[in-house]
Structure 1
């Protein structure tokens, strides 16, 4: 009888801490849903004008006849070439992606048209309760750019200069496409959040690391500065910063929101630094003669990566809310830029009318979903970096 063969236990694979962080995050359904929505909004913000139905700068192409139209409105648009030679200049893909395509046509919403000889007679679109506008007359040769028989002119007209346009989310009080402005607003909201987080991280990490590592009178001085800034309302700081810059606008809002959020980061970094500076590896670095900057940047700050990621997602959501509130009050992004807060304000001014409800509701829902997504992702990251959180997918 053969002797039994001893089995050698197979050792468990060695996993890095980042592996377990990823597994905990992937197992968190709400956090992954928030991440997916943030990724979708980021894709829309990156593509920008390339995916908008209205690709004019700031999606600002409005029609007086189409003010406050309900979602799903479909109208016929007549496109008459502009005589200005600058409107016919080619636009590069980069310029179109960055700032949109200038209007090349004079567009008119019409309810019908007919051809009389060599003249196009168009009846402007008339909304309910609006005064009837007189008919518009255009030379067919001016619209199509060529002289041809009537049948051929009609074919050219219908192929290149008449289109059916659907406003899936309706139009605002200026007759602009609400869907285009809502999508373009993601670029401003995410842009302000990103710049604000980068500014707050740069200032907060520097101040918090110096205060926590140095200690003594320098720590007391910087802690006092943090306390003073912490006690000032964020809106008051933004107003003061806007007055200091002497202007209001997108870039001023970027910087102002960022300069009001660094205290959160600094306090977290300072607290973590106070506990880490007494660790054995820091004492070993001092004994080896490592310079202070090397200890901070290569050995201490990498240990703060987890808490900084969590607070960055929280600050991202707070920055979006702060920018929306400032734009609602008229202190942030200025018209005609499509900020979600500004769009809420425009809808709020129309409450009590038929259009006020959806013009207020749609940007409000967009703000709420994006802020909720960042909060869910922040909660998921906090749990993922906590070693006590059970690991369901090993």
Structure 2
């Protein structure tokens, strides 16, 4: 089970028998410089330097499992591959030529890779463990594990921040409006995130800030959520309905969500959309500048302590409208607030840091994660079982990405930990 990433690893580190190395046509080959791994479109390694026969070459190296993959991947019609000076393959099953008809010099690695290296690689990628190297993890260097954890975490944060940047463009680069919408999405957690975002897009934050009563905030948010579009018995929801009718006409508001789109089933009562909208209204009413709150805090502890999320009195004994709850509904739990900080504040900080090209915001995001408790889920439990000390949200977020982006996909040779185990 050979993967191209393994061949990249072999080529980059020259882990094969180079004695009397020749092309498939019998020309001698000397590798002066392997080149730089290309993570973008185009050949796999750029700026390589080689001597083939009596000629010195400078250009790109393309790597495939089979030579015929050149055609499968459409390289024969791609001008980016015209400067390939060497084709490195595991199995040479077909001759590859340039557009001018001349064959591209090719090295076949089959039989040249060190047997022990191939054996260790095969053992990892064919392992049935959910973490392929789990049984060998304790034998790796601490610095290797930590560097890979940070690499995975940074990749995860950058991917999450892309959603913030996309929203920023929709909002004509208004960071305040983007922070408000992103926070609203966060309040939906997984089950109602998209609905909460659609609701926030229906009522701009500048409209909310024109008002000085919590009931008006609730009327605007519940109204644009579509949850007021039924008949009620209770006085309070009827008050919200009346207030919203007036505000809707005043601001020409349009609902982007309907009553039936909201997910109540599968969610705990404390996570019902009614409770989350009430809590969001309370939080927005208490905090007028969301963006600065989440980006300009002095220390993580200050932000965590300031994150006080309650709701108005009606929701103390209601989880759905018009139906009194037997249990008192408390303020947002600590674990929910931690989740909100991890998935809302941290990506916002990273996106702003990238936008401003200021590394200190990425550091701020990292410090916040290190100040938050670790998440406990099936993935973090798995790492703990293999001896990894999951001590903070920094660890849990990095390990979730490591598991999802590397372990599941068997990208062991793109992982520092797998590379160390195979090469040692």
Structure with bigger helix share is: 1
Query: TM-score with structure 1 length normalisation?
Result: 0.29
By relative contact order (CA 8 Å, sep 6+), the higher-ranking structure is 1
Query: TM-score with structure 2 length normalisation?
Result: 0.27
